[in-house]
Structure 1
Amino acid sequence: MATKIATGDHSFFTAGMAALAGLMFGLDIGVISGALDFIGKAFGAGDDAKEWIVSSMMFGAAVGALAAGVLSFRLGRKISLILGAILFVIGSLFCAAAWSVESLIIARVVLGLAIGIATFTAPLYISEIAPPEKRGSMISTYQLMITIGILAAFISDTLFSYSGAWRWMLGIVAVPGALFLIGVIRLPNSPRWLLMRGKTREAREVLTQLRGNKQRVDAEYNEIEEQLRRPQAGWSLFRENSNFRRSVFLGVVLQVVQQFTGMNVVMYYAPRIFQAAGFQGHMALWGTAIVGLVNVLATFIAIGFVDRWGRRPVLLTGFVVMFIGMGVLGYMLHIGTTTLPAQIFAVVMLLIFITGFAMSAGPLIWVLCSEVQPTKGRDFGIAASTLTNWVANFIVGITFLSMLNGFGSGITFGIYAALNLLFIFFTIFFVPETKGVTLERIESNLMAGKPLRNIGA
């Protein structure tokens, strides 16, 4: 039986769930950066082991995201989120209790499973249960809370660093996991999933609780039924239709682009970057907290301008800013930052890079990946791009310290700067402008064989 909630409470519960899902995702991205040096000292871990500690979560997330599609279909969105929340709490506490590098890696894989399930299922659930007029703002809240979670993790790490309490750094994030678990237990099942399973009476009951107005309930119920008459055919469509393969290709490459900007390198290894710039100890960790704050604030630029300027102009601006910020930072680290003004200038360039990402590739890649997939293949296309995100994330996380040790900081950041320059040209030649264009029009242009950059025309 669906969980009953008051008609007026649906916005509170849905927004709360979105915020907590995004928050715990952000916490896990950010929390490892401040704990890594303390973990290295506690277990005698070198850079190779640190790379595996960082990247093991992304491996687990890739597996979790892959499994989430099956889980959310068979068990439902709500049960999948409950499972993700339970794994999140277990994984966080397991990380805090780790007794070796190997046990910590296993714990991070468990945590990754939770994150993979949540990051796939939470936006899907929100889109299916939120009223249409609030859907965009709730998805935006989810993205914003990811950045707030990263900032909270950086600040928490900095405060715990004074006592070297790395176990508290990793374990404290079980708290939002527990809150998330309590929240999703009180939420109803998705009406769409209930209809997919033939539970028509429960679906109508949930819609009545969520919307209240009978005319609106009937209209939405009929719309869902009509959409479900066009079942997903992702794999067969991928095999048979070259135009659909183009949209999947675009979604996959966009996620690779997002990860290879170098942003998550900064998120996972920020204290190490500040040390390379000449800042040590607590100064490096407070610098990391500033990175998190800039990341939050710059996200509002994307929210404010994406529907005014359009996707392509914002993305192009972001990649130019990232190219300049990362390129100058790499040059400064190459020649050395031996004076305080040089160190401050290097940090400013890093913050400029962060601003470029948070205002563009951070939120907009997810928007584009959902917009360019046709209706019959949307689940398959989004699943493919989400899996790619975590695989690319894993590759970035497991190679950065090796590149830093092998090439030096200047060349390493120079490589990421060159990639951002390449992404400018990728955006020009392949990324469509989808501002104000209906999904139906985008799909029609795609299936008509128009060039990818013109499918939003």
Structure 2
Amino acid sequence: MVQGFSREPGTHGPLTEVSPEGQRKITRWAAAVALGGFLFGFDTGVVSGALLYVKQDFGLNSFEQGSVVSVLLIGAVIGATSAGRLSEGLGRRKALGTIGVVFIIGTAIASTANGYLMLLAGRVVLGLAVGAASATVPVYLSEISPTMIRGRLLTMNQLMITLGILIAYLVNLAFASSEMWRAMFAVGAVPAALMVAATVWFLPESPQWLISHGQADRARRGIASVTDRATADALVARAQDRIAAERRKEEERKENSGPGDRGARKLFTPDVRPALVVGLTLAAVQQFGGINTIIYYAPTIIQQTGLNASNSIFYSVFIGVINLVMTLAAIRLVDRAGRRIMVLVSLALMAVSIFMLGLAFVVGMNSVLTLLFMVIYIAAYAGGLGPVFWTLLGEIFPPSVRAEGSSVATAVNWVSNFIVSLAFLPVASAIGQGETFWIFAGICVVAFFFVGRYLPETKGRDPEQIEAALQSRFGRESGRRATHAG
């Protein structure tokens, strides 16, 4: 809390050790707020099975099918772009509660749709909630996480995303025989209601937000509830000093550059620019590496190997299980192995496996080999780039622009998602499905070299140390002078 019980700059021990009971309390808060991640996964995954029956009921052509999937992403871009101001204005807790209400409204519209246009409207509303949740949850988790378990708690968001996808696949399977696609969508109202209830009765406000909005006493009480009073006083005092210093720097920038949007302008300052470049690039790569062509179209892809619709949904459940299992493995590794090595290994394995998946379609391998390559690809993604991207999103931006930085990076993630998901079927029809997967493999290779050059390790580091390491990677003088900046 207050920047993760962070270390003093230049030291090697944590400022404080959170009590076991305090860690359990923080973990419960993280699990509750990660319901936003669960809904993110559920509402992006459930359409893969529902689409097989919606297209029959509404007589959808290939463009309309693609738009039912991808229109959620338009809403997500808007939601992600708005999330920074929403969470800064209302506070993280109230913003999350508002997002939960929007999830409920979108679910109601989609599950009662009487035609194509109403279904599109429901998916847009769900997209607003999905985008806002994907930008806000990592910020909140980062701001309540002690340094020693920060990676695990931030990775919990991806765990809940993958759990949401798996549950969506299982829900699809449960209703496949009856072809009840409305029920598939409607199940999402349950976790949305739980999310709203958690924000009303359970979750505290982020101490970082409270301090930056002049409510230091509330922040102090919240921190003291998981540690001790002396530590709470020290952390609040340090946060206040940092916020005061950042505001002085901002006043100097205003005098030099004139009026403008404070959050947006600060993202382009020399101190923040390396974090912005890394964040936006990883946000794009996570989607242009091809993951959601598998998540959204898994049943459709498997069906093209010769299996019927019900069997395609059944086999897609295995993909969801592997996704969940490997995310659990990533949670155990992220605070041990480190973020950078996990992303590098993940990208290398993704490149090889999706290349082989493309080859399977080009030469006509059987459905077992096709499914095998899909599973390996999902395992590589879920064990590295998938969860670690969201971890890094909560770490690389300085506290003063974390909400804005997360919002912009998440918006780029959703724009990339939209482009890939909308273009996948038409491009695959034009040049071949296997050749399309080879494009994704090439992007993974380029991303591997980018990460090797520009992404520093963030494990166990405070914001000051992470900023210095990023500056060093981008060849800036302040980074080269910093210690432990590699």
Q: TM-score, normalised by structure 1?
A: 0.90
Which of the numbers 162, 166, 177 marks the counterpart of 1:147? 162
Secondary structure, aligned partner of 2:60: coil
Counterpart residue number, 1:355: 379
Q: Is the 8 A contact 1:30 1:154 kept in 2?
A: yes
Instruction: Give, in angstroms, the shift of residue 120 of structure 1.
Output: 1.9
Counterpart residue number, 1:32: 47
Bigger shift: 173-182 or 395-404? 395-404
Q: What is the alpha-carbon distance in structure 1 between the residues aligned to residue 472 and residue 453 of structure 2?
A: 18
Counterpart residue number, 2:258: none
AA paired with 1:46?
Answer: N
Instruction: Give, in angstroms, the shift of residue 140 of structure 1.
Output: 2.5
Counterpart residue number, 1:106: 121
Counterpart residue number, 2:277: 249
Q: What is the alpha-carbon distance in structure 1 between the residues aligned to residue 64 and residue 345 of structure 2?
A: 37
Q: Is the 8 A contact 2:280 2:409 kept in 1?
A: yes
Q: What are the Cα deviations for residues 79-104 of structure 1, in whole angstroms up to 9, with x where unaligned?
A: 11111000001111111001111111
Instruction: Give, in angstroms, the shift of residue 351 of structure 1.
Output: 0.6
Q: What is the alpha-carbon distance in structure 2 between the residues aligned to residue 131 and residue 431 of structure 1?
A: 22
Counterpart residue number, 2:265: 236
Counterpart residue number, 2:369: 345
Is 1:188 aligned to 2:212, yes or no? no
Tell me the C-alpha RMSD between the 2 structures. Answer: 2.5
Instruction: Give, in angstroms, the shift of residue 109 of structure 1.
Output: 0.9
AA paired with 1:18?
Answer: V
Counterpart residue number, 2:328: 300
Q: CA distance change for structure 1 residues 366 and 50 in 2, over 3 Å: closer, same or farther?
A: same
Instruction: Give, in angstroms, the shift of residue 212 of structure 1.
Output: 6.3
Counterpart residue number, 2:430: 406
Q: What are the Cα deviations for residues 192-211 of structure 1, in whole angstroms up to 9, with x where unaligned?
A: 33333323444444444x33
Q: What is the alpha-carbon distance in structure 2 between the residues aligned to residue 364 and residue 212 of structure 1?
A: 27
Q: What is the alpha-carbon distance in structure 2 between the residues aligned to residue 240 and residue 330 of structure 1?
A: 42
Instruction: Give, in angstroms, the shift of residue 51 of structure 1.
Output: 1.4
Q: TM-score, normalised by structure 2?
A: 0.84
Q: What is the alpha-carbon distance in structure 1 between the residues aligned to residue 448 and residue 157 of structure 2?
A: 27
Is 1:432 aligned to 2:456, yes or no? yes
Q: What are the Cα deviations for residues 245-292 of structure 1, in whole angstroms up to 9, with x where unaligned?
A: 233122111111111111111111110110122222211001110000
Q: What are the Cα deviations for residues 172-230 of structure 1, in whole angstroms up to 9, with x where unaligned?
A: 1111101111111112333333333323444444444x336322332233233223223
Instruction: Give, in angstroms, the shift of residue 314 of structure 1.
Output: 2.4
Alignment of 1:415-454 (within 5 A): 415-447=439-471, 450-451=474-475
Counterpart residue number, 1:264: 292
Q: What is the alpha-carbon distance in structure 1 between the residues aligned to residue 322 and residue 231 of structure 2?
A: 41
Counterpart residue number, 2:58: 43
Counterpart residue number, 1:176: 191
Counterpart residue number, 1:53: 68
Alignment of 1:4-403 (within 5 A): 10-11=25-26, 13-131=28-146, 133-186=148-201, 187-208=203-224, 210-211=225-226, 213-231=228-246, 234-241=263-270, 244-337=272-365, 342-403=366-427
AA paired with 2:215?
Answer: K
Q: What is the alpha-carbon distance in structure 1 between the residues aligned to residue 449 and residue 30 of structure 2?
A: 37
Q: What is the alpha-carbon distance in structure 1 between the residues aligned to residue 343 and residue 138 of structure 2?
A: 22
State the identity %: 35
Q: Is the 8 A contact 1:18 1:123 kept in 2?
A: no
Secondary structure, aligned partner of 1:432: coil
Q: What is the alpha-carbon distance in structure 2 between the residues aligned to residue 270 and residue 383 of structure 1?
A: 28
Aligned length in residues:
445
Bigger shift: 363-372 or 57-66? 363-372
Q: Is the 8 A contact 1:277 1:347 kept in 2?
A: no
